[in-house]
Structure 1
């Protein structure tokens, strides 16, 4: 007898695409008769373990952070204390340096005042030395332009003739020379220019008469127009006279007569009054009073002002 053929169970489309686990669960539910799903006794304990671990981990992290914060606070307090100590030490050193600098500035200013006094005394001493040197040359005259063809032996006769030309009424006895010779040619002079001649007159009056006669513009013309005669002065006096050039030029331009005094000063006579100018600044002020101000800038050096040494001022005192 043939067994009856099994009928194929038809599967719907939804069941075909359902997950296999869901199918198994449904099958179990059918076998269980719709009862509740059994739960293992330790399920609740296992579900609480992650929360307890997280709380312990959080407490541990908080403890580490608190410990680190305490260490950082302690370290920062120590560093701040060290910094405050160093700042106090720097402040103390700065105070000492400021006090020392104030002492140095005071000592420098006192020394600067002393230097100014010494400079003033030195200028006075140099003027006196120059005056003494000029007095030792009071009998001397310097002659420029004497031809080199005039020999040393013929210098005395040649110069005597010049003086007789200037002073026709003078006698030969008064024109005695203690010495007469040529000077070395200065480096700035032209190579072919004749050397200057310097002489010392035995008597002082002929020397003054010669200089007085030279004030006339045509005194040496025409036969001796190549000759120039000067008083013999020290280099310091010549330089000091050059410093007065800006004053003397204005005086000459306005027709005001003047003459030189010793030590170097200008003796000016104007409108019946006699004026003594001892410095360039004093001469400039006097010219302004007279309305004779200089036209244009001057390149002549002026006498250095007193108190030119720089003073020190402690700037920290200005706070």
Structure 2
């Protein structure tokens, strides 16, 4: 599948930590789509992959239609959603930006990138870019879902045994 996106030599040079297919629910009798998790060993390979599939989703591979999504936590998604007033203004003014990891908004500038990592930096970014402050009312309060605690025991049954480090798994990890 990587060779459908990249030249064969480049695709073979992209080492993966793993490619896992999430099992369908036992009660499901339908042939529905299934999630796959791709883990790249190097972040630049992951970034190249995400850049290659951007604006090409769904991608046709053999007889299958594939759609890709980055695996982001609920807290990261909520944080990005809280920055929507700012990103709408950036889009309206045709100011390019990109999302950084683990949770940042990067705005390339001539003198260096502006990096927003928390709500306290918003006024400085708005002033530096010359944006109208009244249009950018970003809440600094965390959303309700960011204050809840993640319970790994609820997710554990969904993770394949080989990833859990289960000694009874065939890989012996």
What is the CA RMSD across the aligned residues, in angstroms?
Answer: 3.9
Map of 2:85 onto structure 1: 246
| Counterpart-to-counterpart distance in 2, 1:245 and 1:183 | 34
1:223 to 45, 60, 80: 60
Gaps of 5+ in 1: 1-160, 186-191, 306-319
How big is the shift at 1:303?
1.6
Matched ranges for 1:1-319 at <5 A? 161=1, 163-169=2-8, 170-172=10-12, 174=14, 176=16, 178-182=18-22, 194-215=33-54, 217=55, 219-220=56-57, 223=60, 227-280=66-119, 282-284=121-123, 286-293=125-132, 302-304=139-141
Q: What TM-score does the superposition give when structure 2 sets the normalisation length?
A: 0.55
Q: Distance in 2 between matches of 1:193 and 1:245?
A: 33
Displacement of 1:180 in angstroms is: 0.9
Contact 1:176 1:202 in 2 (8 A): yes
* TM-score, with structure 1 as normaliser: 0.33
Structure 2 distance, partners of 1:236, 1:271, is 31
Query: Helix, strand or coil: the match of 2:139?
Result: coil
The question of whether the paired residues in 2 share the 8 Å contact of 1:284 and 1:293 is answered with: no
| Consecutive unaligned residues in structure 2, runs of 5 or more | 26-30, 143-173
Residues 228-285 of structure 1: per-residue CA shift (max 9 Å, x gap):
3233222222222222222122222222222333442222112434212233453355
Q: Distance in 2 between matches of 1:290 and 1:205?
A: 29
- 1 CA distance for matches of 2:60 and 2:134? 37
How far is the alpha carbon of 1:288 from its aligned partner?
A: 4.9
Aligned residues of 2:86 and 2:136 also touching (Cα < 8 A): no
How many residues matched? 135
- Aligned partners of 1:292, 1:193: CA distance in 2, in Å? 46
Q: CA separation in 1, counterparts of 2:16 and 2:91?
A: 35
Deviation (angstroms), 1:183: 6.9
Q: Distance in 2 between the 1:202 and 1:233 partners?
A: 18
Which residue of the partner structure matches residue 170 of structure 2?
A: none
The DSSP-based 3-state class of the residue aligned with 1:270 is: coil
Structure of greater relative contact order (alpha carbons < 8 Å, 6+ residues apart): 1
Cα offset, 1:289, TM superposition = 5.0
Name the structure where strand makes up a greater proportion of residues: 2
Shift of 1:203: 4.9
